Structure 1
Amino acid sequence: MESAIDEHLQCPRSLSRRVHDDYQPPFPMFAGRSGDDLTQVVMAYLGVQFREENRQDAVRAMQHMVSTFNLSDGPGNHDISFHTDNQGYGNFIVVGYWRDPANYCRWLRQPEIEQWWSSDERLLDNVGYFREIIAPRAEQFETLYAFKEDLPGVGAVMGSISGEIQEHGYWGSVRDRIPASQNDWLQPDEELRIISGDPDAGGRVVVQGHDNITLIRSGQDWMEADADERQLYFTEMLPPLQAGMDFLRDEGHMLGCYSNRFVRNVDIDGNLLDIAYDIGFWRSLDRLERWAESHPTHLRIFTTFFRVVTGLQKLRLYHEVSVSDARFQTFEYINCHPMTGMLRDAQR
């Protein structure tokens, strides 16, 4: 049994774990591994927002974003998703992962990208755009997988996978898997603030984040699942999951959830795939934990997962959770409605 925290990230604790040293988890789970050469990653969420009548314009914009990943210093892994938000807008999100922030910076500064984003033409397009980018240090994120091959998300750029880990299957295990939590409560220090633009007027808006904003990406992949597992997912797992995600999307601001999007993966033409995941930005890990441990919407998700997990063969479940420093965050919006992402809760 391994610790979820890799050896080179372990240090003497000043804050104790939630379980004792001889705790035995109820089923096997695994964590992504990387060498000590990985010190920081970049997670870039690049969005296109549109009304249905402008869908083809949005598809072309999404395809352009994906094409820029083929330029030098592009991401080591990416995927594309779609969701309809609670204001009725469609949203494509292209997500890229870099294992070296220097590569990301070189990619970002290429004229094909920098000039395209800053061009006044973006203000005249029939769609809106956003980019929500965080760059957690190696000690600021954790991963958890029920499988060991073809890791999605940040796991794809980490390079390896652990053996069975100990820190899972109990409340507080996410925090216990984040290396920084050995000596840091990971509390927020400020509030979200609008630093340029006006969300109600449209145009370009920039939001300043704060330390320890928490991002969770929690996914389900049923592409290889057989008929029985698909039935299990759609009839038992998805209904409480969908209800919980809708609650956080519509009412999560009361609990400290800045933004929640339950998305479906798509191909380059926007066709739906049999993969879904949640993208949740929270004020703090503490706020995420409170919802997970006590709110009925998550308790239903958790108990359903525990009931079915040991019988899963091809249905792939995973998540990644990170905190990040304010200086390594970017939240920018172009012609997006004022309920988009961080715009809703940012102080004017």
Structure 2
Amino acid sequence: MESAIDTHLKCARTLSRRVPDEYETPFPMFVAGADESLSQVVMAYLGVQYADSPERPAALTALRQIDSSFEVPDGPVSHDMTDHVDNQDHHNLVVVGYWADPAACRRWLHSDAVNGWWSSDERLNEGLGYFREIVAPRVDQYETLYAFTEDFPGVGGLMGKTSGEISEHRYWGSMRDRIPLSQTDWMEPSNHIVVVSGDPGAGGRVVVRGHDNIALIRSGQDWRTTGDEERSLYLVEILPSLEAGMDFLRDNGETLGCYSNRFVRSIDIDGNPLDESYNIGHWRSLAQLERWAESHPTHLRIFVTFFNVVEGLEKLRLYHEVSVSDAIPP
């Protein structure tokens, strides 16, 4: 058993863990690790939005454009694509890219090929919506958790290493305890979201700046390699309570500190669904995300349902990543 916090990220704790040092986990879980050369990552959610099915072909064309732009120099190390319907019944196609070098991401964003397309007036007159949500946490500002040890999705895909069995899981507060910064910092939010330019009510281009320590969670389920029995266990037993909880946060999460919540389905380049899904949630603070997880009936139902059937799961790949990040300076 080892700590989820890599050796080079450990320091003298001024804030204690939620469990005693002799705590023993009931089953194995793992985290991704990286060598000391990795200091910061970038997670970019690049979306195309449309209102009705007649616009889907144009939206898919835009999705492919974003995907192909990753092939220019300084593109992301890894990426995936998703589809979901938001709380205003708009469809959203999202390409999610991960960079191991923030400077490379900046060069990519400002390159003629990428910036020219996003900045073109054509984007304002196509009948589609576009958005970019970009965070850049340092390695001490995020954690991962996997029920498997290879082919990590998301940020784990660019980290390069796999831990042994870790001790910080299966108790309330373990998510926080896996984030290296939690050793010395409560990671509390500061200030508020600010509209830097544009008018959200009027449409057009709008730039929004976040605040320090916005929490971002990606929590995934991959049933592509499951057999019939395990697939049925997931789709019939687990998925209904999961969808109910995610829909609650999508429609009512603002009252709990959740800025947005999207339960997305992975897709291929042609928009066909894959047997994988994940949740994307932005929260005002890690503490508010924890309170929902620990006490809200919608999450407790997910939690109880999962542990009622966990012994029957062999090939279902479950994981999550949670980060906080610093606001971009004005």
Q: In 2, Cα distance between the equivalents of 1:328 and 1:229?
A: 48
- Judge which range, 195-204 or 27-36, deviates more: 195-204
SS at match of 2:149: coil
In structure 1, list runs of 5 or more residues that go unmatched.
330-348
Cα distance in 1 between the residues matched to 2:45 and 2:303: 27
TM-superposed deviation, 1:328: 7.6
- Please say if residues 42 and 102 of structure 2, whose CA atoms lie closer than 8 Å, have aligned partners that are also in contact: yes
Q: What is the CA distance between 1:115 and its match in structure 2?
A: 1.4
Summarize deviations over 1:26-70 as a string: whole Å, max 9, x none. Answer: 110000010010000000000000022210000000000000011
Q: Sort the Cα spacing of 1:289 and 1:262 in 2 relative to 1 into closer, same or farther, 3 A.
A: same
Q: 1:150 to 1:36 in 2, by over 3 A?
A: same
Shift, 1:307, TM fit: 2.0
- Note if contact 1:255-1:291 (Cα within 8 Å) is conserved in structure 2: yes
Q: State the 1:195 CA deviation.
A: 1.9
Corresponding residue for 2:7? 7
Aligned to 1:129: 130
**Aligned counterparts of 2:108 and 2:197: Cα–Cα separation in 1:** 25
Q: What do the CA deviations read for 1:66-91 (whole angstroms, capped 9, x no partner)? A: 00011111111100000011211110
Measure, in 1, the Cα distance between the counterparts of 2:109 and 2:198. Answer: 22
Q: Which amino acid aligns with 2:41?
A: V
Deviations 1:164-196 (A, max 9, x none): 000000000000000001000000011112221
CA positional deviation for 1:9: 0.3
Shift of 1:160: 1.0
Tell me the CA shift for residue 309 of structure 1: 2.2
1:108-257 to 2 correspondences below 5 Å: 108-257=109-258
- Please name the residue that 1:277 is paired with: 278
Deviation, 1:311, is 2.8
Q: Secondary structure at the match of 1:297?
A: helix
Aligned to 2:317: 316
Greater shift after overlay, 297-306 or 210-219?
Answer: 297-306
Query: 2: distance between equivalents of 1:143 and 1:315?
Result: 17
Aligned to 2:41: 41
Contact 1:222–1:315 (CA under 8 A) maintained in structure 2: yes
1: distance between equivalents of 2:283 and 2:87?
18
Q: Are 2:290 and 1:289 equivalent residues in the alignment?
A: yes
Alignment-derived partner of residue 32 in structure 1: 32
Q: Is the 8 A contact 1:136 1:323 kept in 2?
A: yes
**Alpha-carbon spacing, 1:176–1:23, altered in 2? closer, same or farther (3 Å):** same
Residue type at the aligned position of 2:50 = F
Alignment identity in percent?
A: 64
> Could you say what secondary structure the match of 1:96 adopts?
strand
Q: SS in structure 2 opposite 1:8? A: helix
| 1:236 alignment partner, SS class | helix
Q: Give the equivalent residue in structure 1 for 2:65.
A: 64
* Alpha-carbon distance in structure 2 between the residues aligned to 1:306 and 1:36: 36
Match in the other structure for 1:337? none
Over the residues paired in the alignment, what is the CA RMSD in angstroms? 1.0
Partner of 1:327, secondary structure, is coil
Whether contact under 8 Å (1:136, 1:328) holds in the other structure is no
SS of the equivalent of 2:328 reads: helix
Q: Secondary structure at the match of 1:310?
A: helix
Output the amino acid matched with 1:134. V
**Aligned residues, how many?**
329
TM-score, normalising length from structure 1?
Answer: 0.93
Q: TM-score, normalised by structure 2?
A: 0.98
Residue 267 (structure 1) shift: 0.1
Q: Which moved more, 1:149-158 or 1:200-209?
A: 200-209
Deviation at 1:310, TM superposition (A): 3.2
Unaligned runs of 5+ in 2: none
The separation in 2 between residues aligned to 1:86 and 1:271, in whole angstroms, is 22
The alpha carbon displacement at 1:109 in A equals 1.5
Give the aligned partner of residue 16 of structure 1: 16
CA contact (8 A) 1:217 1:319 kept: yes
| CA distance in structure 1 between the partners assigned to 2:306 and 2:27 by the alignment | 12
The 8 Å contact of residues 144 and 156 in structure 2, kept in 1 or not, is answered as: yes
Amino acid in structure 2 at the alignment position of 1:79: D
Q: Which amino acid aligns with 2:64?
A: Q
Q: What is the deviation of 1:257?
A: 0.1
SS at match of 1:113: helix
